[in-house]
Structure 1
Amino acid sequence: IEHFPDDETIYRDYAIALLTYNEEEQATTLLYDALSRFPDSKEIRELYDEINDKTTREPLSILPEKRDDFLKLALYLEREGDTKKAIEVLKELTNRYPHFTQGYQALGIILSRLGMHNEAIEALNRAIELGAKDDTYTHYNLGIEYANTGQLDKAIEEYHISISIYRDFPEAHLELGRCLNAIGETDKAMTEIKTAVELNPTNSNAWREYALTLAVNKRWEEALNAIEKALTISPDNIENHLAEGYIFFSVGDNSKAKRSFTNAIKLAPNDPNPLTCLGIVLSSEGKLKEAERALKRSLELDKDNSSILADLGEVYLQKKEYSKAIRCFNDSIYNNPDYIRAYIGLGTALWANKEYEKAIDVFKKVKNKRIKAERFEIREVMSHTSNLTELNILGLIDSTDDEDEIEFLREILELLEGIL
């Protein structure tokens, strides 16, 4: 398994060997891990079901007595879609057997699927304390949870540990690369993501991240070739179409960018991301009514999203509908008090509306805000690269002869460039 992690037959044979020695608990955990790697494997699914059926034919309201039966019951419940009940069973398991490493490992993974990331971190750290310190997957899963909570330094550390245990782990290289991109270490990110592609060349996610990293480094032709490979592998993957649209938008081919985003909308009409990206392209072309319509549709699907609210605010700024812009930026800040782009937009809108004192107060808050590194998100990067905020501030500079005003606005512009 260490040398051939992508060979599902080895997992199956190892599980059968464990069952021969009555190690059902280890076999169950092994097959559960195998199913996460090979969800379409009929042989592994049948073997996993065969083991679980022995312990789950009784009424589920009766909790088992044996430790391994607890684990099997929880995994069965999770597979059947009753994730909350699975968590209850695992919490009872860890209460009764507080030194059972595998119980905490399973609890961490299932908590993550419910979005309970802080609790997942606690469970996975406990598993490492108890005996999983040399388990590559536990460190990898812990890295995922740290990344989900914005703790990128800790995520990077866990991915490094995971890779040090098992060097040929493509997913760990991929996620490490994504985090390195987020903190601006693009050269290191490129190395990790390229390794992920080489280890698993049929993974469209790896090709997509490779394409985006190439795009960050302005290697446009290579980026387009890489995203084409991702789309060849997974033509119905929305993220691949979004990445393709972002790259086309970045090189100024708005027509192809709109085509990519329209394809994504057709694949997922209830996903706000492609609508937002389409709205940004339309806005950059000055097609403000169409942009407003697309962003409003996106907002209907994700009404509290600070990024979409700020994008809509930018459109209203262009339309000189300053009251509407102010409302959008205020709502954006209400939903995310640390969202710097919304503060800059609000200050710009207030200034344009001749509410100078309020604008200055907002800009002062911006200058005191600490910029936080976050993982690459296509629609957010597009919002920045569309340059609408900078253009609006430049418009304010051009509209005044007051040297103090010009100097103040230029300071804000420099701050914004620093964020980008």
Structure 2
Amino acid sequence: MNNALLSAAQSHMQAGQLAEAETLCHQILQQQPHSIEALSWLALIAEQTDRLADSVAYYEQILQQAPHSAETHSNLGSVLCRQGRRADAIAHHQKAVALMPQDAEAYYNLGVAFYEDGQLDRAIVHYQQAIALNPQHANAHNNLGIALSKQGNLSGAIDHYQQAVTLNPDHINAHNSLGVALFNQGRLADAAAHYQQAIALNPRYFSAHNNLGIALQRQGKRADAIAAYQTALALKPDYASAYDNLGTVLQEQGKLEDAIVQYRRAIAYDPACANAYNNLGSALKEQGNLNEAIACCLQAIQLQPNHADAHNNYASALVE
């Protein structure tokens, strides 16, 4: 009977019918309270429906019966990471690695947990180990690229992003990340091409539209940049960065009032956006509204003390 219910639950899971699958799993537990298979499905369903505390509880029940289940330790670690319980997540992923020392995915998951915890060096080591065990692991290449980029190693990051998109040409995040790295190297046309590839794979990828706008703007293609920013905002109406970027193009076109409107929208959606305060200060200074310009530049400096442009605009407004 339980086998039939498990089979039916699995069919519902594969069809995306999570509520039906969950009901069947609970029926199984009524007959067999310690069914690891039913608890595993319930943990997965809870995770997919963002009931992370429930998912953790189910995985912990499994570990009470099977403390050496490497897969359960790994799955639990991933849920704990999503909860922000990074130390606990790392501990469970380390157990998974100890139980499966030749498993690339275990090292990859541990790398993710270290990255989320801000331990870049340890994340890099574990991504590299995952790749050593499975050179075809596109996600490990992508994540290694992200970690290297964060350390300022753009050439190393680009190498791994390129590996990721070679292994998986449909890897949307790798195309976008590769675009960012190429942009930071000044390779604007190459960057735009990868943003466009990410958008082709997912037209609703709003950050890729925003990034494409930045590359197009830097190339002097202002009309195309505006269109890209507007698409990003249509997809994500509270996207502060896109409002800020749209404002900079309008300011370049001499449309100060329109630019100021966009900067104020960016700040309304993200009051901690130092760049928007700085850009607003720049536009107000250009408009002759020096007192408010000074206040905006000071706010940018307070939010981000190392914002060089804000210090420059502040000094310039004081001189005027």
Residue ranges of structure 2 left out of the alignment (5+ in a row): 285-290
Instruction: Report the CA distance between 1:100 and its aligned residue.
Output: 2.9
Partner letter of residue 110 of structure 1?
I
RMSD after superposition = 3.2
CA contact (8 A) 2:233 2:242 kept: no
CA–CA separation in structure 1 for the residues paired with 2:221 and 2:43: 47
Provide closer, same or farther for how the CA distance between residues 149 and 297 of structure 1 changes in structure 2, counting only shifts above 3 A: farther
Choose the corresponding residue for 1:397, options 299, 314, 319: 314
CA contact (8 A) 2:293 2:317 kept: no
Q: Which one has the bigger helix percentage?
A: 2
Instruction: Report the CA distance between 1:162 and its aligned residue.
Output: 1.3
The answer to whether 1:322 aligns with 2:260 is: yes
Matching of residues 132-211 of structure 1 within 5 Å: 132-211=66-145
Aligned to 1:133, what secondary structure does the other structure show?
coil
Instruction: Report the CA distance between 1:258 and its aligned residue.
Output: 1.0
Instruction: Report the CA distance between 1:297 and its aligned residue.
Output: 0.6
1:259 maps to: 193
CA–CA separation in structure 2 for the residues paired with 1:309 and 1:67: 52
Choose the corresponding residue for 1:331, options 261, 266, 269: 269
CA–CA separation in structure 1 for the residues paired with 2:180 and 2:294: 37
Provide closer, same or farther for how the CA distance between residues 279 and 155 of structure 1 changes in structure 2, counting only shifts above 3 A: farther
2:5 maps to: 70
The answer to whether 1:104 aligns with 2:35 is: no
Partner letter of residue 12 of structure 2?
L
2:288 maps to: none
Residue ranges of structure 1 left out of the alignment (5+ in a row): 1-65, 334-339, 368-388, 403-420
Aligned to 2:213, what secondary structure does the other structure show?
helix
Aligned to 1:227, what secondary structure does the other structure show?
helix
Instruction: Report the CA distance between 1:212 and its aligned residue.
Output: 2.7
Provide closer, same or farther for how the CA distance between residues 85 and 278 of structure 1 changes in structure 2, counting only shifts above 3 A: same
1:61 maps to: none
1:21 maps to: none
Choose the corresponding residue for 1:248, options 182, 194, 203: 182
CA–CA separation in structure 2 for the residues paired with 1:292 and 1:276: 10
CA–CA separation in structure 2 for the residues paired with 1:95 and 1:310: 51
CA–CA separation in structure 2 for the residues paired with 1:125 and 1:358: 53
Percent identity reads 20
CA–CA separation in structure 1 for the residues paired with 2:132 and 2:7: 36
Provide closer, same or farther for how the CA distance between residues 349 and 215 of structure 1 changes in structure 2, counting only shifts above 3 A: closer
- Equivalent pairs, count: 304
- Residue deviations 1:277-335 (CA, integer Å, cap 9, x gap): 2123335556555333212212322334xxx32332244256252232222332346xx
TM-score, with structure 2 as normaliser: 0.80
CA–CA separation in structure 2 for the residues paired with 1:300 and 1:71: 43
Provide closer, same or farther for how the CA distance between residues 281 and 147 of structure 1 changes in structure 2, counting only shifts above 3 A: farther
